[in-house]
């Protein structure tokens, strides 16, 4: 395997390919017929997934922190680079993305019936944006990709959504844009501060790390960044866009939204907020606020989920609860917690994605999302019911499924520092059963009361193909998460250690930063514009010129005259 | 020389501006805008004498843009005329909320 | 396939100190039921899809008459019990292998690293020691018998393969629970059996009540699981490991005796144990769990799963020994539960409900045992209880099976489980009658049946555990009272079911019949075990007396000694701190005397109770008056369900609804929408300037430019 990879110089092109090939795929989708567009999109994304699998081999857990790095100048004047690179955390986020895309597309073959070419083009555009976010090493580039994800999603919800799609799409857009604009201000401030010492301009992550900032500055910047990511996560109380967006979004939109887009927020916290503003991120008040918001999210979202009449909305709220565990894991600032949070992210992507797919399948059959319109489905659709039950159990973190590994580690890690918070968070396992089991019962069990449900077809072969890998992954990751944990550990450890004042010197991130050297030296140092020809008359400068000629009303001239 | 050129430029610009403001005929307004552009061009050329060749360079930009603008603008006016059978701008008030 | 061919096998290291015990394919014991689950599960999907097709086409169920039984029904009959038999035999081989050696340290087999990050490393490892082997023997042995019984009991159910799939899966998880070498592994089994319990209680999910019961079991169990999780977090924070070996070896030195940490750990463990083992206050799910098929009640809700809490306390004996408060809490919870459940059982008419409350009560006894440090006694009672309670449930199953057939044959709309509709069944099903009497005498604590020895030992230890403590004297009194109540309500159940005149109705009586051999043979085997199962742990003093046949009974204190490697540390700590167990009961008298008193009293209760119940006129359920007065309170289970509904379930639901309607929709979304509206308002205001007249725009533009210029220049 690694032989093939080496021979094809895999490491040098894979990240670029994963970012830009989806755009090439758009051409294919546009060139195909309305009917074939979905096949083209599926084949293309599936191919990309296969391609991305090579990352598992080419990424060396024992190697440097950031691998597959590349630097190229983009806007040299401002020090913006097209800089890519991944660590173990981004690795799995990228794999999750490339895996989710074909699944989401195949899972909704029948759901999207109009403007298909446009739809699949937007999905591919979305993939470019998401992979770009996870692979960017340059904050400017990151920001562009981060915003890029917003546009396709806005249209996906707004065009192919349900009845209140416009409201949901606008809410989604404004909520997230509000946050990210403040983040842009934060990025620019950071950039300016980093230049203040006379260093050449650079937006590169490693160059901006360790920028000297006062605690006050850090807190403000932390707030700007955290708001953007908290909205994306979403964290209580800025979560209300999510249920609306999920309910209105078409199935593949919901799947991608839950599986990957929410992870952008958590990823942002891990990659940027913690290391860039370590003093703010370890500030006791800040930590406590974030932990409390996370734990409130866990409990509160579980409660709200439990009383939802709409199945999709219920699952949407469970996302808030799950992401609460992620926030706990992150802000516990322990290795176990962070690793657990990361596993929750992956696990939530798989299980919630699968839940949305299943609800989409039910919607295709019955054109309703209301829980009470179902009941007794286990008798007519045993395969669907089996997949549903396994997915639901993975979602509530039954041991042996991926959900448990994540929640267990996250809570374990939180307990090491904040027992009370972890204690409250652990009640989430009770409330998870409290929201999930009634829904499972009302949809799958009880008597088959409605005649419409009696003739419901079971899973088709295509649907089995979609769900089987998801279900398999839930179990495999639950039983043997070691390959994932091992690869993520250096990345997670580097961040935790870097944020810890005491161990910063020894952390991998600090090593990467030092190795990167002084900021701004990564591009060949040449002037932005060719040498200016200068004034025709070398004795004249602009000011001189203006001052030399009387212009009516110019007071300075008057003074001279 | 510079002073004279700048004064002429200013006079031309003011005439153009007033034309745009007070006339209602779209074609006349359009011509007045051209007048403004050329007034600016004049000052560019004049100042280029002292500040470097870039001033003259920008004149070409302005002329290119003006030409493009003329093409598009006239096309719009013709289209409007076909629709309303008038070039009086008071008749056109679609540019509002 | 053997364990050593598993992928990523870490070279297994037998950590025994040259004990010479080499387990035979321990991994296979686990894999066999899992294999059974996979095969039966596949068959269940096939069969389920077939009946789903039938349903869609308008036929109610796929035909399953005994003539043309499809392959999906014949295969599970062999796969289900087959894998269990193989697992049992393999366990037996290992058990015999361990008998011959002095195993001081458990044998640990690690297969792969499950979770490892930073300092945490959790292996997918199993542990074979005296305790886990005893549990495995019970699980696979009793489990096998119940699988065989199920073949007869469930044969006409359309969900037959699904049933065996769940049952096999249950055994797999139960084995993980007792074989896991660390707390998280046990937790896998712990929640896994909860899942299977959920699926099997709601096996007939078409009935909303049954599906509800399954859900209730799962959620209440999760409350317990919460406790177990928290206990694990504390343990990891203190010990940096979650392996049994690491924790229990380090505990005596690391923890402070009676300190806050160990007390907290044990209390959270108790919460977990109380959830799984249906102790006060979390017992409410178990009676409802009787909604499942009766063999399930026998296996899961009597013999194995519900005893997991006892196993947990016994396994963590070192921790409990170091936390006197925690241990006392265990004993108290056990005693309260035992007495409380016994009172409810007095007034139940549903035969399975009587057995359910009896199970809760007996589990209370086990908790008392392990709570006072008599870990071997607790495990002993766990084992004998598995025998006689499984037998009672299976017997009840045979009765219900027969009643159901009889009522079904004449389309009588009566409850097949209500004892008031039974009576005189001994004439129709003599084998069931006899075996169930054996079990009843055993549970009542009559010498020489198994229950006498195990229950007597627990009562004895409760009474003598802390001579000076009033608490334990009270608990001792409660234990004796419970034992007598047990004798009474069990006798009542037997008499109402099997004696007196038949109340089924003449037509129905013709259809009453004895169960087929594949159901009665397991009953017979369990009856034998219910008689002799108690003889493995006859206390030395008792053995020399009349009750031991003056030394005739073999194996004095065998189980105590068998479990000694595991309980010795805890015992030592307890004796060091609290002093040795007394040699007389709180009111005097030795073990033999109290054994005699206990069995004598129990026997008297059985005889008097039988007469009392038999002399009362019992009418079928539809004709019976509602119970009144205190009897009604007992019949309605002290209204605990109603209480929980009022103070927990409904408030949380109301709170949930309030969170959604008020916080989410009004406060948060209201703010968001208000911000949007304000922005819109400003926009509307600004739009007034937009006249649409180009001249206006140009004028404003120019004016603006002039103003700016003016400001700059001036």
Sign of CA dihedral C156, C159, C165, C168: negative
Beta-carbon separation of B51 and A540 below 8 A: yes
Local structure of C15: helix, strand or coil: coil
Average pLDDT over residues C626-649: 86
Q: Three-state SS for A428?
A: helix
Residue from C258, C287, C268 nearest C358 by CA: C287
Query: Given A536, A548, A551, which is nearest B52 (Cβ)?
Result: A536
Alpha helices, H only, C533-590: 540-544, 558-562, 564-578
* Residue A303 with chain C: CB contacts under 8 Å: 652, 655-656, 659-660
pLDDT in tens, C307-318: 999 999 999 999
Read off the pLDDT band of C335 (50, 70, 90). Answer: very high
The mean per-residue pLDDT over the stretch C675-691 comes to: 85
Out of A534, A545, A550, name the one closest to residue B50 (CB). Answer: A545
Number of helices (H) and strands (E), helices first, in chain C? 29, 2
Q: What is the pLDDT of residue C685?
A: 87
Question: What residue in B sits closest to A537 (Cα-Cα)?
Answer: B50
Subunits adjacent to chain C (3 or more Cβ pairs under 8 Å) = A, B
Question: Cβ distance A29 to A63 under 8 Å?
Answer: no
Contact with chain A for residue B57, Cβ under 8 A: no
**Eight-state DSSP code of residue C668:** I
Cα distance between residue A419 and residue A257, in whole Å: 32
Residue A73 phi, psi dihedral angles, 5° rounding? -70, 145
Length of chain B: 97
**Is the pLDDT reported for residue C6 higher than 80?**
no
Specify burial of residue C497 (Cβ count, 10 A radius: 0-12, 13-18, 19+): buried
All partners of chain A with 3 or more CB pairs under 8 angstroms: B, C
The answer to whether C233 contacts A415, with C-beta atoms less than 8 Å apart, is yes
Residue the block writes with tokens 């007095």: C346
d(CA A505, CA A267): 23
Q: Which residues of A touch B45 (CB under 8 A)?
A: none
Cβ atoms A197, A283 nearer than 8 A = no
Contact C693 B93 (CB under 8 A): yes
Contact C222 A429 (CB under 8 A): yes
CA A163 to chain centre: 27
Q: Is the pLDDT of residue C472 over 60?
A: yes
Q: Which residue of B has its CA nearest to A534?
A: B52
What was the pLDDT predicted at C60?
60
Tens-place pLDDT, residues C237-248: 999 999 999 999
Query: How high is the pLDDT of residue C72?
Result: 81
Would the CB atoms of C206 and A300 count as touching at under 8 Å? Answer: no
Query: A85: which DSSP letter?
Result: E
Q: Say whether B53 and A536 touch across the interface (CB within 8 A).
A: yes
| Whether the Cβ atoms of residue C475 and residue C335 lie closer than 8 Å to each other | yes
B96 touching C (Cβ < 8 Å): yes
Higher pLDDT, residue A398 or B89: A398
pLDDT value at residue A540: 45
Q: DSSP letters of C45-74?
A: HHHHHHHHHHHHTT-SS----STT--HHHH
Which tokens hold the place of C51?
A: 């009946």
Does the structure show a pLDDT above 80 at B91? no
- Pairwise CB contact (< 8 Å): B20 & C698: yes
- CA of C216 vs chain A CAs: smallest distance (Å): 9
Q: DSSP assignment of A95-136, as one string?
A: HHHHHHHHHHHHHTTTT--SSHHHHHHHHHHHHHHHHHHHHB
Yes or no, beta carbons of A540 and B50 under 8 Å apart? yes
Binding-face residues of B in 16-35 toward C, CB within 8 A: 17, 20-21, 24, 29
Beta strand ranges found along C104-151 (DSSP E): 107-117, 120-128
Q: Which residues of B touch C687 (CB under 8 A)?
A: 96-97
What are the residues whose beta carbons fall under 8 Å from the beta carbon of A516, sequence distance 6 or more? Answer: A204, A206, A207, A522
> Which of C684, C691, C699 lies at the smallest CB-CB distance from B21?
C699
Mark which residues 2-61 of A lie under 8 Å from B by CB: none
Containing B45, the helix (H) or strand (E) segment is helix B26-51
Chain B residue numbers touching C689 (CB-CB < 8 A): none
Q: Answer yes or no: is pLDDT of C693 > 70.
A: yes
Name the residue in chain C with its Cα closest to that of A456.
C56
Asked if the model's pLDDT at residue B25 lies above 80, the reply is yes
pLDDT for residue C458 is more than 50: yes
Q: What is the pLDDT of residue C12?
A: 39
Q: Is A94 exposed, middle or buried (0-12, 13-18, 19+ CB in 10 A)?
A: buried
Tokens 């005296």 locate to C130
Alpha carbon distances (Å) from C399 to C308, C353, C508, C677: 28, 14, 13, 70
Q: Which residues of chain C lie closer than 8 angstroms to A434, CB-CB? A: 219, 652
pLDDT value for A529: 39
Of all helices (H) and strands (E), which one includes residue A155?
helix A150-160
Q: Which residues contact B30 (CB under 8 A, 6 or more apart)?
A: B70, B73, B74, B77
Side-chain-side CA neighbours of residue C665 (13 Å): 9
pLDDT digits (tens, 9 = 90+) for C215-245: 999 999 999 999 999 999 999 999 999 999 9
Answer for the pair C259, C296: CB distance below 8 angstroms, yes or no. Answer: no
Residue C61: pLDDT band (50, 70, 90) is low
DSSP secondary structure code for residue A332 in this structure: T
The residue of C50, C52, C119, C666 whose CB has the most chain A CBs within 10 angstroms, and thus the best one to mutate to test that interface, is: C52
* Per-residue b or e along A493-518, where b marks 16 or more CB atoms closer than 10 Å to that residue's CB: bbbbbbbeeeebeebbbbebbeebee
Tell me whether residue A47 is exposed, middle or buried, using C-beta atoms within 10 angstroms of its C-beta: 0 to 12, 13 to 18, 19 or more: middle
Query: Which of A247, A329, A445, A494 is most worth mutating to test chain C (most C CB atoms within 10 A of its CB)?
Result: A445
How many residue pairs from chains A and C have C-beta atoms closer than 8 A? 175
The residues near A79 (Cβ < 8 Å, ≥ 6 apart) are: A191, A200, A201, A202, A203, A204, A520, A523
In chain B, residues with a C-beta closer than 8 Å to the C-beta of A535 are 50-52
Contact residues, A window 26-85, toward C, CB-based 8 Å cutoff: none
Q: Which of A:402-431 have CB within 8 Å of B?
A: none
B1 contacts in A (CB within 8 Å)?
Answer: none
Q: Looking at A119-123, C358-362, C394-398, C561-565, which range is the least confident one? A: C561-565
Q: What are phi and psi of C556, to 5 degrees?
A: -70, 135
By C-alpha distance, the chain B residue nearest C694 is B89
Give the pLDDT band of residue C74 (cuts 50, 70, 90): confident
The shortest C-alpha distance from C625 to chain A (Å) reads 32
Q: Residue C11, exposed/middle/buried by CB under 10 A (0-12, 13-18, 19+)?
A: exposed
Nearest CA in chain B to C687: B97
B residues 46-65 near C, CB within 8 Å? none
What distance in Å separates the CA atoms of residue A224 and residue A184, rounded to the nearest whole number?
8
Neighbours of chain B (3+ CB pairs under 8 A): A, C
Asked if pLDDT for residue C306 goes beyond 80, the answer is: yes
When pLDDT is cut at 50, 70 and 90, the band that residue C82 belongs to is very high
Q: How far apart are CA A320 and CA A265, in angstroms?
A: 12
Cβ pair C691:B93 closer than 8 A: yes
* Alpha-carbon span C509 to C520, nearest angstrom: 20
Q: Is B10 on the interface with C (CB under 8 A)?
A: no
- CB proximity under 8 Å: A 522-551 to B: 533-537, 540, 542, 545, 548-551
Closest CA relative to residue A242, chosen from A301, A183, A327, A303: A301
Tens place of pLDDT per residue across chain A (561 aa): 677 777 778 888 899 999 999 999 999 999 998 888 889 999 999 999 999 999 998 888 888 888 888 888 888 788 888 989 999 999 999 999 999 999 999 988 888 888 889 999 999 999 999 999 999 999 999 999 999 999 999 999 999 988 888 999 989 988 888 888 999 999 999 988 888 777 788 888 888 888 888 899 999 999 999 999 999 989 988 999 999 999 999 999 999 999 999 999 999 999 999 999 988 989 999 999 999 999 999 999 999 999 999 999 999 999 999 999 999 999 999 999 999 999 999 999 999 999 999 999 999 898 888 999 998 899 899 999 999 999 999 999 999 999 999 999 999 999 999 999 999 999 999 999 999 999 999 999 988 888 888 888 899 999 999 999 999 999 999 999 999 999 999 999 889 988 887 677 777 888 887 776 654 445 544 444 344 444 444 454 444 444 444 444 444 433 433
Contact in structure between A2 and A57 (CB atoms under 8 Å): yes
Neighbours of C709 (CB within 10 A): 11
Residues of C near B (Cβ–Cβ under 8 Å) read: 684, 687, 690-695, 697-699, 702
Nearest residue of chain B to residue C705 (CA atoms): B17
Distance of residue B51 Cα from the nearest chain A Cα, in angstroms: 5
Tokens in use for C15?
Answer: 């950590």
Q: What is the DSSP letter of C302?
A: I
Buried/exposed C636-651: b ≥16 CB within 10 Å, e otherwise: ebeebeeebeeeeeee
CA distance A173 to A154: 6
Helix pair angle (C130-153, C375-409), 10° resolution: 0
Q: Which residues contact A225 (CB under 8 A, 6 or more apart)?
A: A183, A186, A268, A272, A273, A276, A277
pLDDT value at C63 more than 70: no
- Say how far apart CA C601 and CA C619 lie, in whole Å: 30
DSSP alpha helix (H) spans, C277-374 = 285-288, 294-298, 308-315, 317-322, 324-345, 351-371
CB contact under 8 Å between A545 and B3, yes or no, is no
pLDDT at C467: 63
H helix intervals, A418-538: 419-444, 451-454, 461-479, 482-499, 508-516
DSSP C647: I
Contact flag C652-A171 (C-beta cutoff 8 Å) = no
Question: Which one has a higher pLDDT value, C282 or C626?
Answer: C282
**Are A102 and A465 in contact, with CB atoms under 8 Å apart?**
no
Residue A234 contacts residue A262 (beta carbons within 8 Å): yes
Tokens of residue A314, six digits: 């219920």
Q: In this prediction, what percent of chain C has a pLDDT beyond 70?
A: 95
Positive or negative: CA dihedral C256, C257, C260, C266: positive
A535/B49 CB distance under 8 A: no
Mean pLDDT of C328-352: 93
For residue C468, name the pLDDT band (cuts at 50, 70, 90): low
A535–B51 CB contact, under 8 Å: yes
Instruction: Note whether A410 and A266 are within 8 A (CB).
Output: no
């Amino acid at each position: 395997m690694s032989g093939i990879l080496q021979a094809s110089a895999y490491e040098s092109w894979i990240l670029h390919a994963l970012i830009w090939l989806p755009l090439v795929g758009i051409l294919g989708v546009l060139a195909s017929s309305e009917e074939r567009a979905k096949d083209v999109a599926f084949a293309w994304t599936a191919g990309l997934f296969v391609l991305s699998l090579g990352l598992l081999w080419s990424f060396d857990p024992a190697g440097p922190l950031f691998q597959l790095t590349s630097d190229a100048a983009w806007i040299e004047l401002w020090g913006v680079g097209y800089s890519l690179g991944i660590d173990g955390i981004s690795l799995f986020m990228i794999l999750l993305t490339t895996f989710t895309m074909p699944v989401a597309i195949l899972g909704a073959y029948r759901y999207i019936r109009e403007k298909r070419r446009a739809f699949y083009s937007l999905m591919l555009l979305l993939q470019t944006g998401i992979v770009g976010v996870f692979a960017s090493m340059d904050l400017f580039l990151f920001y562009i990709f981060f915003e890029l994800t917003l546009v396709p999603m806005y249209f996906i919800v707004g065009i192919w959504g349900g009845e209140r799609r416009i409201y949901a799409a606008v809410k989604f857009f404004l909520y997230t844009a509000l946050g990210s604009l403040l983040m842009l201000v934060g990025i620019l401030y950071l950039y300016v501060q980093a230049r203040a010492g006379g260093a050449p301009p650079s937006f590169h992550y490693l160059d901006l790390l360790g920028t000297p900032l006062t605690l006050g500055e850090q807190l403000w910047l932390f707030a700007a960044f955290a708001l953007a990511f908290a909205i994306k996560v979403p964290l209580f109380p800025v979560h209300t866009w999510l249920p609306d967006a999920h309910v209105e979004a078409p199935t593949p939109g919901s799947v991608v939204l839950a599986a990957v887009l929410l992870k952008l927020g958590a990823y942002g916290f891990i990659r940027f907020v913690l290391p860039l503003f370590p003093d703010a991120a370890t500030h006791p008040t800040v930590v406590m606020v974030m932990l409390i918001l996370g734990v409130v999210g866990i409990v509160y979202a579980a409660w709200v989920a439990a009383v939802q009449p709409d199945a999709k909305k219920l699952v949407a709220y469970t996302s808030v609860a799950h992401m609460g565990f992620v926030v706990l894991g992150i802000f516990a600032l322990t290795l176990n917690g962070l690793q657990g949070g990361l596993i929750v992210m992956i696990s939530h992507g798989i299980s919630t994605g699968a839940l949305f797919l299943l609800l989409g399948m039910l919607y295709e059959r019955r054109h309703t999302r209301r829980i009470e319109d179902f009941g007794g489905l286990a008798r007519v659709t045993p395969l669907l019911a089996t997949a549903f039950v396994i997915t639901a159990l993975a979602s509530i973190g039954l041991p042996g499924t991926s959900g448990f590994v994540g929640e267990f580690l996250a809570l374990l890690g939180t307990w090491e520092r904040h027992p009370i918070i972890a204690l409250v968070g652990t009640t989430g396992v009770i409330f998870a059963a409290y929201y999930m089991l009634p829904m499972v019962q009302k949809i799958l069990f009880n008597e088959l009361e409605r005649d419409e449900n009696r003739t419901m077809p079971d899973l088709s072969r295509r649907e089995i193909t979609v769900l089987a890998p998801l279900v398999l992954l839930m179990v495999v990751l639950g039983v043997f998460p070691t390959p994932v944990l091992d690869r993520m550990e250096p990345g997670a450890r580097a961040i935790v250690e870097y944020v810890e004042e005491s161990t910063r010197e020894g952390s991998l991130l600090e090593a990467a930063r030092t190795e990167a050297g002084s900021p701004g030296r990564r591009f060949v140092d040449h002037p932005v514009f060719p040498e200016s020809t200068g004034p025709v008359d070398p004795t004249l400068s602009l000011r001189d010129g203006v001052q030399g000629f009387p212009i009516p009303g110019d007071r300075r001239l008057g003074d001279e005259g | 020389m510079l002073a004279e050129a700048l004064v002429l430029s200013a006079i031309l610009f003011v005439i153009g501006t007033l034309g745009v403001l007070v006339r209602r005929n779209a074609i006349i307004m359009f011509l007045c805008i051209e007048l403004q552009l050329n007034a600016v061009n004049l000052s560019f050329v004049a100042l280029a004498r002292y500040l470097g060749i870039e001033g003259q360079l920008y004149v070409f930009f302005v002329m290119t843009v003006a030409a493009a603008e003329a093409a598009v603008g006239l096309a719009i006016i013709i289209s409007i005329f076909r629709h309303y059978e008038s070039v009086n701008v008071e008749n056109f008030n679609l540019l509002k909320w | 396939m053997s364990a050593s061919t598993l992928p990523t096998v870490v070279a297994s290291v037998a950590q025994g100190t040259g004990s010479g015990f080499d387990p035979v394919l321990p991994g296979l014991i686990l894999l066999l039921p899992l294999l059974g689950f996979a095969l039966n599960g596949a068959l269940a999907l096939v069969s389920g899809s077939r009946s789903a097709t039938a349903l869609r086409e308008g036929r109610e169920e796929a035909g399953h008459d005994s003539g043309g039984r499809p392959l999906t029904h014949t295969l599970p009959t062999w796969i289900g019990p087959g894998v269990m038999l193989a697992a049992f035999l393999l366990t037996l081989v290992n058990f015999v292998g361990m008998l011959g050696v002095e195993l001081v340290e458990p044998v640990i087999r690690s297969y792969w690293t499950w979770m490892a990050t930073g300092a945490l490393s959790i292996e997918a490892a199993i542990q074979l020691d005296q305790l886990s082997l005893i549990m495995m023997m019970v699980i696979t042995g009793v489990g096998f018998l119940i699988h065989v019984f199920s073949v007869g009991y469930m044969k006409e159910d359309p969900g037959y393969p699904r049933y065996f799939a769940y049952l096999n899966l249950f055994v797999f998880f139960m084995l993980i629970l007792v074989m896991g070498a660390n707390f998280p592994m046990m937790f896998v089994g712990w929640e896994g059996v909860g899942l299977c319990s959920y699926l099997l209680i709601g096996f007939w999910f078409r009935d909303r009540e049954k599906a509800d019961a399954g859900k209730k079991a799962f959620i209440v169990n999760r409350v317990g699981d919460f406790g177990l999780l928290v206990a694990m977090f504390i343990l990891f924070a203190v010990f940096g490991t979650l392996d049994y070996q690491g924790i229990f070896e380090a505990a005596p030195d690391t923890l402070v005796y009676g300190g806050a940490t160990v007390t907290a750990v044990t209390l959270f463990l108790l919460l977990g144990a109380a959830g799984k083992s249906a102790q006060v206050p979390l017992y409410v799910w178990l009676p409802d769990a009787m909604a499942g098929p009766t063999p399930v009640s026998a296996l899961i809700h009597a013999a194995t799963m519900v005893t997991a809490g006892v196993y947990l306390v016994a396994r963590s004996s070192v921790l409990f020994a170091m936390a006197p408060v925690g241990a006392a809490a265990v004993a108290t919870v056990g005693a309260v539960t035992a007495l409380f459940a016994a009172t409810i059982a007095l007034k139940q008419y549903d035969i399975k409900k009587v057995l359910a409350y009896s199970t809760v009560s007996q589990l209370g006894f086990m908790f008392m045992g392990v709570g006072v440090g008599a870990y071997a006694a607790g495990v002993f009672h766990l084992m004998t209880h598995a025998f006689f309670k499984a037998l009672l449930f299976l017997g009840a199953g045979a009765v219900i099976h027969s009643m159901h057939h009889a009522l079904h044959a004449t389309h009588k709309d009566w409850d097949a489980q209500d004892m008031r509709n039974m009576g005189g069944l001994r004439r129709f099903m003599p084998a069931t009658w006899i075996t169930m009497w054996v079990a009843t005498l055993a549970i009542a604590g009559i010498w020489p049946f198994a229950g006498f020895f195990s229950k007597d030992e627990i009562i004895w230890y409760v009474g003598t555990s802390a001579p000076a403590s009033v608490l334990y004297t009270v608990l001792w009194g409660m234990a004796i009272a419970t034992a007598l109540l047990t004798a009474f309500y069990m006798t009542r159940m037997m008499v109402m079911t099997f004696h007196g005149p038949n109340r089924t109705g003449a037509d129905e009586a013709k259809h009453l019949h004895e169960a087929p051999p594949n159901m009665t043979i397991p009953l017979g085997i369990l009856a034998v075990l219910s008689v002799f199962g108690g003889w493995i742990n006859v206390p030395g003093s008792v053995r020399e007396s009349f009750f031991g046949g003056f030394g005739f009974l073999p194996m004095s204190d065998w189980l105590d000694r068998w479990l000694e490697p595991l309980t010795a540390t805890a015992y030592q700590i307890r004796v060091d701190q609290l002093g040795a167990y007394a040699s007389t009961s709180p009111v005097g008298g030795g073990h033999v005397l109290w054994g005699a008193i206990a069995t004598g009293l129990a026997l008297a209760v059985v005889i008097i109770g039988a007469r009392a119940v038999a002399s009362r006129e019992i009418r079928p359920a539809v004709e019976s008056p509602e119970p009144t007065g205190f009897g009604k309170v007992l019949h309605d289970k002290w209204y605990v369900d109603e209480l929980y509904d009022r103070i927990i379930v409904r408030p949380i639901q109301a709170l949930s609804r309030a969170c959604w309607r008020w916080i989410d929709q009004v406060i948060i979304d209201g703010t968001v929408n208000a911000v949007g509206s304000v922005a819109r308002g400003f926009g509307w205001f600004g739009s007034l300037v937009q006249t649409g007249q180009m001249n206006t725009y140009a004028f404003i533009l120019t004016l603006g430019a002039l103003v700016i210029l003016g400001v700059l220049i001036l």
